[in-house]
Amino acid sequence: MRASALAAFLFLSFGACRSGPAPATTNPIPSRQPIVLITIDTLRADRLGSYGSTRGLTPSLDAFAREATRFTAAVSQVPLTLPSHATILTGLHPAHHGIRTNDGFRLAATVPTLAEQLKAAGYRTGAFIGGYPLRASSGLARGFDRYDDEFLASLDATERSADEVMRSAALWIDANRSQPFFAWIHLFDPHSPYAPPAPFSAAHRDAPYDGEVAYTDAAVGRFLDRLRQPSLSLPVTIVIVADHGESLGEHGERTHGTFLYDATIRVPLLIKLPPVRLKPDPTYGRSTDGKTVGRTDGGRVVDVPVETADLAPTIAALAGTTLTRSDGQSLLPLIAGATGDPDRPAYAESFYQNVLLGWSPLRAVRTRQWKYIEAPRPELYDLEHDPHELQSGLNERAALASGLQRALTSLDAADRSKDDARAAATSESFERLRSLGYASGSTVPTPATRAIDPKDRAAVWAEIEDGIDLTARDPASAGQKFGRALQLQPDNGLALKYLADLRFRAGRLREAREGYRRAIAAGFRHPDAYVNLASIAEREGHLDQAREALTSAVELASSDADAWNRLGLLESRRNEVDAARRAFTRAIAVAGDRPEPYYNLGLIERRGGNETAAQARLQDAITRNPNYAEARYELGTGYLIARQPERALEAYRAALASRPDYAEALFGAARAELDLGKNDDARRDYERFVKVAPKEYRRQIAAAQAAIKRIKN
Ligand SMILES: [Zn+2]
């Protein structure tokens, strides 16, 4: 099969421009040449001129499409950023790579990746990320020599512009152009919130999504121009694809993730192989002067169904290697002109509401003409006559539907309950995902929820999505949205939990507790709910209740460092030194870059009388955050007690460099200075301490004043 496809490719690449066989000295397969993969997030196919749009948003992509092979029935396997990219970068369906939604999953170390395979084949590999869902900790970074998501180091950053991503990618390409390379560039701009930069904001005031598309197109154009510059000219393969589209209100869905209609699962896909340079060959009279001969693939249209899972095997083939496992198939024969199969069932799924709310998952197969969606109320669409999927023809065409359902079942023979890759993220990531409009958490499906068809709850979901969007900037309106969702479905755990979050942040703790309890009773289990229940119980002095809630949080999300750290602090408060030590150690095990657990462990060691261990852990904390004033202060105190005033003073000074009005450090510094006979310095620090110390330090303030008096005499 592979050999014959290759033969077809060889023949068709040359058949149109030359007569006779290709010269044996020429290898028409652009083997081991550079490959650039551009994934444009949330780009609807029908916004591109080459896919029929008359809006004029995409002149650059349209010019590119004229030189490329354009696929009109490319299907994304899942309309969510992280799982879709996992498919693009592994060639595997979600059941096999294990990532079902953006939150709580990471790519397991046992899943082979395209980048690893290319690296093993001698390629340099670079990834340039535009948005938070594809952060390195998602697991997608494996196999990349460089994974540039560094802009996310700023804790409230969620995305960066296409031009910024491209700038970073271009620098890396320049540095690596002397060898085969694979650059993956992720552009996040069309993803919500829609806020195109000027002049696109003004030009598309009434359609900001279109403005984002137009801006992204312009940025892609600038990047492609750069690659085409004669001085930089590289024989590069360029693949441009979207991870999914955007519903923009169709079928009651505002963004993406829930449904499997073409608005989100049919994606633009353009592939341009490099022109082939023919060597001078006296046997043939023309096109043999060393000039580039145009390929025959420019402007080709492939209308048979293909999957985004096909991209990894295609790219691997271009690099002269093959993937160890793949659910896709190389597209090179189609690019070379093979006819393909219009009835190939391309797969798509959504487990978003299944994971969040326990509702039924949706799965679909799409051929060139038909789409079958498996749901509690299944659907069948004739895409040729009903491209917007408004009229399900299931009843009229039962035999066709059951044939497609069988195809779906055989595609999905893999174990669906397998979720080894699942690993909860930290609460920090929940905030950032929420700012992009994603919900997080998970529900245990019950027989009742499993029967819920997401299309019968589109209105509930719309209210929740609006509420999530409003949470940061308008909590009152967000509360109304969640309230309305609960009027439509009173036991909706997600809405209960988000409403409780709003109450918690507003300090309405009793209502918050009631809300969290109801959410949990409804089956919605989220570490945040337990962590916040714990902090309410702790504030009320119910330490045992708090401990129980935190224990539930870490059982649910064993990689939640924040929850482990809080559990450690609580055990410490309960004087359970060993339990506290265990909890802090777990926090360190799951997030070794965070300084707080080391600091807390240091204080626990000190309480246990192990000063050497205490100082080592405080130093560990300082290594992770050199400006950690409290850790510097505690270190100073250890030295002071050990009668090492010089080292103590050094530590206190470092603490004060980060926090000049740090009262305790001023008091400690003055003590050390007295021990060292630096009386003037001691007096100055005592005076400053008296000025900044809070009133409850009455005893220390009196001691400082007495010391000042003594020094003066
Ligand atoms: Zn996406």
Q: What is the pLDDT of residues 303-354, one digit of tens each?
A: 999 999 999 999 999 999 999 999 999 999 999 999 999 999 999 999 999 9
Structure tokens at 645: 């005033």
Q: How many CA atoms lie within 13 A of 648 on its CB side?
A: 22
pLDDT at 291: 42
In DSSP notation, 450-473 reads HT--GGGGHHHHHHHHHHHHHTTT
The CA 190 to ligand 1 mean position distance, Å, reads: 9
Ligand 1: distance of its center to the CA of 520 in Å?
A: 29
Kindly give the distance from the C-alpha atom of residue 438 to the centroid of ligand 1, in angstroms, as a whole number. 11
The token pair that represents 507 in the structure block: 């300090």
Distance 710 CA to ligand 1 centre (A): 69
579 CA to middle of ligand 1, Å? 42
The protein residues having their C-beta less than 5 angstroms from ligand 1 (an ion) are 41, 81, 243
How do 35-40 and 237-242 pair as beta strands? parallel
How would DSSP label each residue in 300-333? -EE-S-EEGGGHHHHHHHHTT---SS-SS--SHH
Q: Which of 41, 98, 39 is nearest to 255 (CA)?
A: 41
Identify which of 383, 341, 380, 386 has the alpha carbon closest to the alpha carbon of residue 364.
380
CA of 80 to the centre of ligand 1 (A): 5
Which range in 15-24, 293-302, 378-387 is most confidently predicted, on average pLDDT?
A: 378-387
Q: How confident is the model at residue 461 (pLDDT cuts 50, 70, 90)?
A: very high
- Residue count (the chain): 713
Arithmetic mean of pLDDT over the chain: 89
Cα of 102 vs centre of ligand 1, distance in Å, is 9
pLDDT tens digits for range 275-310: 754 443 333 333 334 444 444 467 899 999 999 999
pLDDT category of residue 447 using cuts at 50, 70 and 90: confident
Residue 17 Cα to ligand 1 midpoint, Å, equals 40
pLDDT digits (tens, 9 = 90+) for 580-597: 999 999 999 988 889 999
Compute the distance from residue 621 Cα to the ligand 1 centre, in Å.
36
Distance between CA atoms of residues 503 and 499, nearest Å: 6
Could you tell me the distance, in angstroms and rounded to a whole number, from the CA of residue 186 to the centre of ligand 1?
Answer: 10
- How many angstroms does the Cα of residue 293 sit away from the middle of ligand 1? 37
| CA-wise closest residue to 513 among 495, 499, 494 | 499
- Using pLDDT thresholds of 50, 70 and 90, give the confidence band for residue 232: low
User: What is the C-alpha to C-alpha distance for residues 541 and 167, in angstroms, rounded to an integer?
Assistant: 54
> Of the segments 13-17, 151-155, 212-216, 279-283, which one has the largest average pLDDT value?
212-216
Query: CB atoms < 10 A from the CB of 380, how many?
Result: 22
| Ligand 1 center–CA 392 separation, angstroms | 27
Q: What is the largest CA-CA distance in the chain?
A: 109
Tokens of 272: 């341009």
pLDDT at 298: 74
Q: Distance between CA 140 and CA 118 in Å, rounded?
A: 14
Q: Tell whether the model's pLDDT for residue 443 goes beyond 60.
A: yes
* 134: phi then psi, degrees, rounded to nearest 5: -105, 25
3-state DSSP assignment of residue 123 = coil
Q: Would you say 634 and 602 are in contact if contact means Cβ atoms under 8 Å apart? A: yes
> What's the whole-model pTM score?
0.83
Give the separation between CA 168 and CA 130, rounded to whole angstroms. 11
Strand-by-strand arrangement of the 346-350 sheet: 346-350, 362-366, 370-374, 379-382
Predicted confidence band of residue 106 (pLDDT cuts 50, 70, 90): confident
Cα separation of 535 and 567, whole Å?
Answer: 10
Q: How confident is the model at residue 451 (pLDDT cuts 50, 70, 90)?
A: confident
Alpha-carbon distance of 150 to 426, in angstroms, equals 18
Determine the distance separating the centroid of ligand 1 and the alpha carbon of 243, expressed in angstroms.
Answer: 5
The pLDDT-based confidence of 608 (bands split at 50, 70, 90) is confident
pLDDT at position 28, please? 45
Has residue 250 got a pLDDT over 50?
Answer: yes
Q: What is the predicted pLDDT for the residue at 297?
A: 60
By the 8 A CB rule, do 646 and 677 touch?
Answer: no
Q: Are strands 306-307 and 442-443 parallel, antiparallel or unpaired?
A: unpaired
Q: What separation in Å is there between the alpha carbon of 349 and the centre of ligand 1?
A: 14
